[in-house]
Amino acid sequence: MDGTYQMLHDIIDFHNDRMRNLRRYYPFFCLQNTAFHLFKEGKYSFLDMGYITLAVLRFFIEENQFNDRAVQYREITDFLSGLLIRDFSLELPEEEEKELIDYIFDKIKNDGKPFVMEYFDPVKKTKASVRMKLIEATLSGSTVLYTVTADAIEFYLDTKEIRDESKINIQQILLEKMIHTKNFKGGIDVIRRINSEVNRLRLQKREVLALLGSNVFDGVKALEEFNQTGMRWFAEEQKLFSHNMELMERARAKAEETVTGEKDTEALKGIYQLETELKKAMANHGELLSDCMDLQVRADEMIHKYKYSRLRGAFDFRGFVSAAKEAQDVTLLAHLVEPLLAPKLQKQFSLLQTDELLSVPPETPEAAEVLGEEKEEMYRFDDEIEEERISGNYAAIVKTLFDELLAAETVSLSGLNRKLELKFFDGIFKNSDYYSFLVHICQKKDYDLDAVKKKQDTFFEGILATLMKEPEMHRYEGLKFRLVMKPEAEELVHQIAGLERDATFVTTEILFERIKEEEAG
């Protein structure tokens, strides 16, 4: 029985922890499965998305952690362009290469949304989800800067390092071997990996502080996990740093006193470079300790402030004392002190009250209050609100287009614009969702609404499939249509759309043609 209980405990109680650990690998396999078979009709299916993802993460770690700088999109495109030529011998025209690189990077950053992994929670017996991002985007002035997340760094290191041991310890053991074999150049690379791990821990420290500021309970859990996984081996790491510095001194002494009596100049140069990098790593590691001390102090302050705010909801001690001072009445403090003194627990009942008890009328039984089932308010993330807004705007445009296609075999974009302007006024052309709708619908040349319900190849088809589930959309079942581009009618579309003439922004006339049954067959 004891063995069965332990097994069930491991399965149920530790499942959430295992899922949180696995979330770091989930985006990689999502990207690996996505591949390129849906892009450009599988033209680039020979590319390996898994390899490209790991290469991009290594590029971000190099720039963000080693060089301590954020990355602009132009630098990302240059890196991916070189990767496609070097590793896949893929040289493309400028426009086609830009389109492919945009697709790759949009997939890796998941269009700015987190990857969501759903799983069953055996404790609450309901579905739960964990979220993770590989790349974060921030706006600095008018420039978008990209950085890698702490989870992405940990995932990248986990693909090569040992999980249940200090990565800094592992690298220092490797560094010791490098010094013994006089591979000083390789030792510099090892120290850079140590610095990467230290920078990841410092980044994780900032994320723990941010979480404490938004949710104290989750923040405390993250703080405990950080102390267990990040600071558990700190003293041992410091000892290994000192040990490796001693090895460096011995290596220098040997290089200066060779058998021939001449100094080993090449070895001394490598030792000097390695020693410089090691001193930087030790200083960085010391700053990590200061960061962690600061984290603990600020965490204690946040937790204390949170406890005090919860207590003030019941009784404001400071306000009471201030009121007593203003009244200049010391006796008011008795109300504060008396409840804290030992209460008189012994109770006495007077026999003279017996007659009164017999004359007291019975109390009317109170009806039990019927409590309705409380509905748990679900938290809505920003990306979910954005998707809801986009789906609503797309639905309005799509229904207008489908109604026009049912009435006529061919509908032009300029004609559709007139209908939209009548329904939604000219504000529709100031809405960015209108232009993103045009971009998404032009990803394919023809659409079959019945086929879309079974299989969706694009983001737009996913929205269509959801819309087709609504009862009012049943009248569009069986509708098929194609898109025909008419560049020569470009000026007409600009005039109807009410857009100012801009050489950098061109809208092409599009014909939406309904496909007849006999034509489809």
Looking at the structure, tell me whether residues 136 and 204 fall in a common domain: no
Looking at the structure, tell me whether residues 119 and 200 fall in a common domain: no
| The pair of three-digit structure tokens given for residue 89, joined into one six-digit string | 């011998």
The Cα 113–Cα 134 span in angstroms is 10
Q: Is 134 helix (H, G, I), strand (E, B) or coil?
A: coil
What pLDDT band is residue 83 in, cutting at 50, 70 and 90? very high
Burial 350-374 (b: 16+ CB within 10 A, else e): eeeeeeeeeeeeeeeeeeeeeeeee
Q: Within its chain, how far is the Cα of 179 from the centroid?
A: 39
CA dihedral 285, 287, 293, 295 (to 10 degrees): -100
Count of domains observed in the chain: 3
Position 403 in a domain: yes
Q: Is the pLDDT of residue 302 over 80?
A: no
**Could you write out the DSSP letters of every residue in 222-257?**
HHHHHHHHTSTTHHHHHHHHHHHHHHHHHHHHHHHS
Looking at the structure, tell me whether residues 170 and 149 fall in a common domain: no
The Cα 458–Cα 452 span in angstroms is 10
Position 320 in a domain: no
Looking at the structure, tell me whether residues 13 and 140 fall in a common domain: yes
Question: Nearest to residue 514, comparing CAs of 416, 402, 395, 400?
Answer: 402
Looking at the structure, tell me whether residues 11 and 149 fall in a common domain: yes
The Cα 306–Cα 263 span in angstroms is 64
Q: Is the pLDDT of residue 313 over 60?
A: no
Burial 500-517 (b: 16+ CB within 10 A, else e): eeeeeeebebbbbbbbee
Looking at the structure, tell me whether residues 98 and 221 fall in a common domain: no
Judge contact between 281 and 198, C-beta under 8 A. yes
The pLDDT assigned to 2 comes to: 55
- Which DSSP symbol is given to 128? E
What pLDDT band is residue 52 in, cutting at 50, 70 and 90? very high
Range 251-267 average pLDDT: 68
Q: Which residues contact 416 (CB under 8 A, 6 or more apart)?
A: 400, 401, 404, 512
303 C-beta neighbours (distance < 10 Å), count:
15
Q: Which residues contact 265 (CB under 8 A, 6 or more apart)?
A: none
Looking at the structure, tell me whether residues 170 and 151 fall in a common domain: no
Q: How far is CA 239 from CA 168, 189, 401, in A?
A: 12, 20, 71
The one-letter amino acid code at 369 reads E
**Could you write out the DSSP letters of every residue in 470-518?**
SGGGGGGTT-EEEEEEEGGGHHHHHHHHTPPP-TT----EEEEEEPPHH
Position 370 in a domain: no
Position 502 in a domain: yes
Residue where a domain stops, chosen among 122, 155, 188:
155
- Which DSSP symbol is given to 38? T
Burial 464-495 (b: 16+ CB within 10 A, else e): bbebbeeeebeebeebbbebeeeeebeebbbe
Phi and psi at residue 41, to the nearest 5°: 55, 35
Residue where a domain stops, chosen among 309, 325, 350:
309
- Per-residue pLDDT reduced to its tens digit, 180-211: 666 667 677 777 777 777 777 777 777 877 77
Q: Please state, rounded to an integer, the average pLDDT across all residues of the chain.
A: 77
The Cα 289–Cα 238 span in angstroms is 10
- Which DSSP symbol is given to 445? S
Looking at the structure, tell me whether residues 475 and 417 fall in a common domain: yes
The pLDDT assigned to 194 comes to: 73
Rg for the chain, CA atoms, rounded: 34
Q: Find the domain containing 88 and state its range.
A: 2-155
Position 11 in a domain: yes
Position 237 in a domain: yes
The Cα 172–Cα 147 span in angstroms is 27
Looking at the structure, tell me whether residues 406 and 512 fall in a common domain: yes
CA angle 277, 283, 285 (to 5 degrees): 100
Q: Is the pLDDT of residue 4 over 80?
A: no
List, as own/partner pairs, every contact residues 180-184 make where C-beta atoms lie below 8 angstroms and the sequence separation is at least 24, other chains included.
180/247, 182/251, 182/267, 182/270, 184/267, 184/270, 184/271, 184/273, 184/274
Looking at the structure, tell me whether residues 185 and 305 fall in a common domain: yes
Residue where a domain stops, chosen among 309, 334, 369:
309
Position 288 in a domain: yes
Name the more confident of 314 and 15: 15
Looking at the structure, tell me whether residues 36 and 135 fall in a common domain: yes
Find the helix or strand (DSSP H, E) in which 338 lies. none
What pLDDT band is residue 245 in, cutting at 50, 70 and 90? confident
We report the CATH number of the domain holding residue 256 as 1.20.58
- Per-residue pLDDT reduced to its tens digit, 443-484: 888 888 888 888 888 888 888 888 888 888 888 888 889 988
What pLDDT band is residue 5 in, cutting at 50, 70 and 90? low
Looking at the structure, tell me whether residues 179 and 78 fall in a common domain: no
The Cα 277–Cα 244 span in angstroms is 12
Q: Is 153 helix (H, G, I), strand (E, B) or coil?
A: helix
What pLDDT band is residue 176 in, cutting at 50, 70 and 90? low
Helices (H) and strands (E) in the chain, counts: 22, 9
207 C-beta neighbours (distance < 10 Å), count:
15
Question: Nearest to residue 23, comparing CAs of 145, 107, 134, 130?
Answer: 130
Position 322 in a domain: no
The one-letter amino acid code at 346 reads Q
